[in-house]
Amino acid sequence: MSALSEKKPILQVKDLRTYFYTEDGIVKAVDGVNFEVYEGETLGIVGESGCGKSVTSLSILRLLDEKGKIESGQIVYKGKNLLELSEDEMRKIRGNEIAMIFQEPMTALNPVYTIGDQIMEAIMLHQKLPKDEARKLSIEMLRKVGIPEPEKRVDEYPHELSGGMRQRAMIAMSLSCNPSILIADEPTTALDVTIQAQILELMKQLQNEYGMSIIMITHDLGVIAEVSDRVLVMYAGKAMEYAGVRELFKNPKHPYTWGLMNSIPRLDVEYERLNAIPGTVPDALHFPEGCRFHTRCELATDKCRVEEPPLEEVAPGHFSACWHVDKLEAAIAVQREGESA
Amino acid sequence: MEKEYKRMLKKFFRNPSGVLGLALLFFFIFVAIFAPVIAPPQPSNKYEPYMMPIVTWSPDPQPPSKEHPFGVSERRDIFYGVVWGTRTAFRIGLIVTGVSTLIGLFIGSISAYYGGWIDEILMRITDIFLSIPFLIAAIVLTTLLGTGLDKVMIAMIVFGWMGTARLIRGNILQAKEEQYVLAAKAIGVSTPGIIVKHLLPNTIFPVLIQASMRMGSLVITAAILSFLGLGAPQGYSDWGAILNYARNWMLGAHGEALKYWYTIVFPGTAMVLFVLAWNLIGDTLRDIFDPRLRI
Amino acid sequence: MTRKDEALLSVRHLVKHFPIRAGIFKRIVAWVKAVDGVDFDIYEGETLGLVGESGCGKTTIGMTLLGLYPPTGGSVYFNGEDITPYLLPRWKVRSYLKQTYVNHFKKLSGDEIEKLPQEVRRYAEVYFNDHKGNTESFVRHFTENRKEKQKAIRREMQIVFQDPYSSLNPRMRIGNIIGEAVDVHGLASSSAERRRMVAEILQKVGLYPEYAMRYPHEFSGGQRQRIGIARALILNPKLVVADEAVSALDVSIRSQILNLMEDLQREFQLTYLFISHDLSVIKHISDRVAVMYLGKIVEVAPKKKLFDRPLHPYTVSLMSAIPIPDPDYKKRRVILKGDVPSPINPPSGCRFHPRCPIAREVCSKEEPPLKEVEEDRKVACFFAGEIS
């Protein structure tokens, strides 16, 4: 943790548990997750559908619907536990200090207001600027996110923009109040690859300029590798692995991470056959006992079926929740030998 | 899917208004089935049990008594009329709703499935039917066809299918884009096959809910027409027709506004409860199926 | 890859435009040029990957080949036979045949007919020899037994859809979803035989025969996609169009389905047209790849050649835009400027020129043809290979 620990954590999530009370039972969407976000850094949260990555981000902003409840845990932002704030205090944090962008900007933008109106609303609300200055700032923001002819675009409605442009407008809106943390929930999943490349580039560039921290939530390991500094791998509501990005990709210490990496066909490697993770993602109502990944894990033993492995530091700054890190290391060594041979 | 149905049933019975509606409906069904036992027709009336027996020669209504628990109106026994009128109400409701829903389903699904010119023409026809005020149209039609319960039912069917047609059209237009419809086409399933096997089962629930709601209101419409003298003939057991008899007595006697209350209250209550039963059931079904309320 | 000289499926100048209607009279105010003159061949037993971004027309091609949208123009040959008349509505068949064949044949001399492309020449023989130059009789050749021929085509070509949730009728049991095709084509003589066929195909796609009694909502996305594959394969088709068949699946499930599709290809000697926006999936499964941009194919080549050295600037930028799951992987990025233009008013000349890093004046004026630059490899660019 040498280089990373010099920085200060701006957000700490401790033992977060968010449950949903549905008619069919309790969905333990997030079940004891810990992580830190450091100043100016990007934390990537990666996992498949239903792993709890989006619920984690909604929990940070306390934006859950009435069925979802944060059962326990702490979300410490600049020394304050967000879970103890009043709704009024929380409103000042949302958008102003911690902003969020979503997968489908069309649903996050109000279709009956112009792009400019919506950016101005945020600026006027949080920065208390007069209307004409707010408008000037909105145009400035639109220019910053690379929207051509911002003076004209500021008066257009969301449906008049393309998907990529809408996401840019959304980013402009979320950055207009200069937040310390930007939560991006699958911001490029709905976009084409060439547009995705533009948006990722833009986010990196804006992060350098504004020095904010980013929580990047995605299912795409490629995006993670490209933008994150540290990565949290989630599966079935639990953190499986947590490490610096280079360390994670070079020395994965959890069979799930390893399986994920193996199952993506890479553009730069030739495969005869893909290494699939067998089985299906477990149903959120009936997560398996013991290690939640054991039903799909090739290294699973009886211990994994009964006892849940804790997230432990297995190498400096590298955390993994697995009983059999040593077995995995051996398996990886064998596979790598085979590849190089 | 069995599980799904069980869940729906459970939800239905957890809803007090649904249970009340169902109880009312069962009560009416019971009355309709056992009408000959509850109000046995007189021997002279055996072949025309729907005709309310004439029980007195006095033209004035008579208040409820032991022999005539609901009183007498226009020389006829109201109790008998209300009991046998339940059968009439079911007949009108079921036939009119059934036939107009089928017509609506047919026109709406053809319109939505084929689209283009066919859709355009059918929907304009629907608009025309919708733009004619129903009562006026029904009055004109019954003057053309003659009065009678069957004529009233025809009028209600002719001017009653448009809502269903529009609803099913909208639903099918949405379902048409689903990939399972494309998949069925790719397999080679014929057009009627796609409509019947794939589109209708996925779109018909709102229509059924709407139909159950309409079932009640139709009985009111039929009563209005009967009240206007277009419906059932003199003496026929029909709630609207009984109310029609009350026309002269509605205002009561001089200084006694409520003197002839029983001429309206009993058939009126029957009608209100009948409508209520269907509406409660429809409401409950909508609550269960409406995707906006269901998570 | 077992490759024969004659293609299993040939697509020639395929055009599909969708009208945009507006106003009370539903007048056509514009056309979306979703597919605008596309040529390609698929050989038996191979997988042709069709890749491009949203709105480039790749899905429209799949739908048109399956007869789910009638083509606006062009021809489709399956096993050398022109199946376009069966994709078109009946009232268009006559004018199609006249325009495509009869009017040409009447004008051409015998020598010129000899020089026609093979698939067209074949019909010249049919026209002059079998029908003695009688147009009516020639048209009847295509309109007779239309329903049966359409059904026969359906059995040869099937499709697997993208969305595992919307592609299965929620009110039908799995057995009926898969068995419906058996009923429509009368493949089973008894219900016991139908049950056996369904059970067999379920096992082939890695599911249990007992699943036939269940409903779609009881299954996960990956299992549903297996069911979708079973529905396509029960007819024992030659060609399967996989339209973004793994795009909606989770990463760990996606690789299972890709492996399954490869296994089934080997077992049933299937030919795939694999449509996807994901170049890494395309690279894994394809033998040859066609890259589409705004309704046109810009490059088509064997996989290895394409990925080793992309020639079209769009292919280059598409490849460089894909994030590689390796933080140390350093690559030269070609980040395209701007958005994909609207297919209603595509740019003049080369459709890629407004976003192209190497566009010159000629690109905005003339449209580059898709021409062979090396063996087996076609590119539609005046300056092919200038960046890579």
Alpha helices per DSSP H over C157-271: 174-184, 191-204, 221-233, 251-268
What's the Cα-to-Cα distance from B52 to each of B30, B133, B227, C138, rounded to whole Å? Answer: 20, 33, 17, 75
B182 touches chain C (CB under 8 A): yes
The lowest-confidence range among B52-61, B105-114, B128-137, C83-92 is B52-61
How far, rounded to the nearest angstrom, does the alpha carbon of residue C108 sit from its chain's CA centroid?
32
**Is pLDDT above 50 for B293?**
no
> What's chain A's length in residues?
341
* Cα-trace Rg, chain B: 23
Alpha carbon C152 to its chain centroid, in Å, reads 18
Chain mean pLDDT for chain C: 90
Place of tokens 């109310």: B243
For C21, the closest chain B residue by CA position comes to B116
A3 pLDDT exceeds 60?
Answer: no
So what's the pLDDT on residue B290?
62
Helices (H), chain C: 58-65, 84-87, 90-97, 103-107, 110-114, 118-125, 135-143, 146-156, 174-184, 191-204, 221-233, 251-268, 279-285, 303-308, 313-321, 361-365
- Whether the CB-CB separation of A247 and A315 falls below 8 Å is answered with yes
Is residue C87 within 8 A of residue C76, CB to CB? The reply is yes
**What is the biggest distance separating any 2 CA atoms in chain B, rounded to whole angstroms?**
78
Note the pLDDT tens digit of each residue in C286-324: 999 999 999 999 999 999 999 999 999 999 999 888 888
Cα(A56)–Cα(A239) distance, integer angstroms = 11
Cβ B113 vs Cβ B191: under 8 Å:
yes
CA distance C179 to C185: 10
Other beta carbons within 10 angstroms of residue A179's beta carbon come to 21
Supply the pLDDT for residue A246.
93
pLDDT attached to residue C332: 64
Torsion C317-C319-C325-C329 (CA) sign: negative
Alpha carbon distance A202, A101 (integer Å): 14
Tokens 């509406």 locate to: B279
Q: How far is A129 from chain C (nearest CA, A)?
A: 32
- What is the mean pLDDT of the segment spanning C116-134? 87
Q: What is the ipTM of this complex?
A: 0.85
Structure tokens at B43: 């021997």
The pLDDT confidence band at residue B40, using thresholds 50, 70 and 90, is confident
Inter-residue contact B208 to B168 (CB < 8 Å): no
**Structural tokens at position A2:** 């040498």
Per the CB < 8 A criterion, the answer to whether B240 and B223 are in contact is: yes
Question: Which residue among B182, B193, B201 places its CB closest to the CB of C171?
Answer: B201
Helix axes B78-114, B200-227, angle to 10 degrees: 140
Specify the pLDDT at position B4: 66
Instruction: Examine the pLDDT at C3 and tell me if it is beyond 70.
Output: no
Say if residues A334 and A272 touch (Cβ distance below 8 Å).
Answer: no
Q: Quote the CA–CA distance of C306 and C308 in Å, as a whole number.
A: 6
Which among C163, C173, C181 has CB closest to B179?
A: C163
Choice between C271 and B251, residue whose per-residue pLDDT is larger: C271
B253 secondary structure, DSSP code: B
Per-residue confidence band for A328, with pLDDT thresholds at 50, 70 and 90: very high
Lowest mean pLDDT among A11-15, A302-306, B224-228, C35-39: B224-228
The residue among A186, A200, A218, A274 with the most chain C CBs within 10 A of its CB, best to mutate, is A274
Say if CB A104 and CB A170 are below 8 A apart. no
Q: Is C373 within 8 Å of C356 (Cβ atoms)?
A: no
Is the Cβ of A46 closer than 8 Å to some Cβ of chain C?
no
Q: Which residue has the tokens 């996401």?
A: A167
Question: Which distant-in-sequence residues (6+ apart) come within 8 Å of A106 by Cβ?
Answer: A158, A159, A163, A166
Hey, are the CB atoms on B197 and C180 less than 8 Å from each other? yes
Buried b (16+ CB within 10 A) or exposed e, A124-133: bebeeeeeee
Query: Exposed/middle/buried for A29, CB within 10 Å: 0-12, 13-18, 19+?
Result: buried
Amino acid at B233: P
Tokens of C284: 């894994």
Residue B54 has pLDDT above 80, yes or no: no
CA–CA dist B239, B83 (Å, integer): 9
> Residue B12: pLDDT band by 50, 70, 90 thresholds?
confident
Please name the helix (run of DSSP H) or strand (run of DSSP E) that holds residue A191, with its range, or none: none
Contact C250 A48 (CB under 8 A): yes
Cβ of C323 within 8 Å of Cβ of A162? The answer is no
> pTM of the prediction?
0.85
Is the separation of the CB atoms in A44 and A216 below 8 Å?
Answer: yes
Distance CA C156, CA C154 (A): 5
Which chains have 3 or more CB–CB distances shorter than 8 Å to chain A? C
The pLDDT value given to residue C1: 41
Of A194, A222, A266, the CB nearest to C317: A194
Of A150, C166, C27, which is closest to residue B182 (Cα–Cα)? C166
Question: Does position A115 have pLDDT exceeding 50, yes or no?
Answer: yes
The one-character DSSP state at C293 is E
Chain C residues closer than 8 Å to B182 by CB: 63, 68, 159, 161, 167
Q: What share of chain C in percent tops pLDDT 90?
A: 65
pLDDT above 60: residue A5: no
Structure tokens at B187: 């397999």
* DSSP H/E element including B113: helix B78-114
Q: What angle do CA C277, C280, C281 make, to 5 degrees?
A: 70
Distances (CA, A) of C117 to A224, B98, B247, C93, C109: 50, 60, 88, 21, 15
Q: How confident is the model at residue A245 (pLDDT cuts 50, 70, 90)?
A: very high
Summarised one tens digit per residue, pLDDT across range B156-177 is 898 889 999 999 999 898 888 8
Cβ–Cβ < 8 Å for B184, B250: no
pLDDT at B252 over 70: no
Query: What is the share, in percent, of chain B residues with pLDDT greater than 70?
Result: 94
For residue B175, what is the nearest residue in chain C, using CA coordinates? C166
Give A247-286 pLDDT, tens digit per residue: 999 999 999 999 998 888 777 677 778 888 888 888 888 8
Amino acid at C322: I
Whether residue C11 contacts residue C2, with contact meaning beta carbons closer than 8 Å, is answered with no
Confidence band of C24 (pLDDT split at 50, 70, 90): low
Tens-digit pLDDT profile for residues A169-179 = 989 988 888 89
Residues listed for chain C: 388
Task: State pLDDT tens for residues B82-121.
Answer: 888 899 889 889 999 999 999 999 999 999 988 888 898 9
Q: In terms of pLDDT, which residue wins out, C388 or B47?
A: B47
Residue C388 pLDDT > 70: no
* CA nearest to A10, candidates A123, A153, A179: A179
Q: Distance (Å) from the C-alpha of residue A327 to the closest C-alpha of chain C?
A: 21
Chain C residues interacting with chain A (CB cutoff of 8 angstroms) = 53-54, 220-223, 250-256, 258-259, 262, 277, 279-281, 283-284, 307, 317-329, 333, 335-336, 338-340
> Neighbouring chains of C at 3+ CB pairs within 8 Å?
A, B
Size of interface B-C (CB pairs under 8 A): 68
Which of C264, C266, C304, C326 would you mutate first to test chain A, the one with the most A CBs within 10 A? C326
- Cross-strand partners of C38: C14
Q: What is the pLDDT of residue C242?
A: 96
Q: If residue C41 lies in a helix (H) or strand (E), which one and from where to where? A: strand C27-42
What value does the mean pLDDT of chain A take?
A: 89
- What's the pLDDT band for A2 if we cut at 50, 70, 90? very low
**Could you give the residue ranges of the DSSP H alpha helices within chain A?**
2-5, 53-60, 87-93, 105-108, 115-127, 131-144, 150-153, 163-175, 193-210, 221-227, 245-250, 255-263, 302-306, 325-340
State the Cα–Cα distance between residues A75 and B86, nearest whole angstrom. Answer: 65
- Would you call C180 and B178 a contact, using CB atoms and an 8 Å cutoff? no
Residue A206, pLDDT above cutoff 80: yes
Across all residues in chain B, what is the average pLDDT?
A: 83
Contact A267 C279 (CB under 8 A): yes
Higher confidence at residue B72 or residue C157? Answer: C157
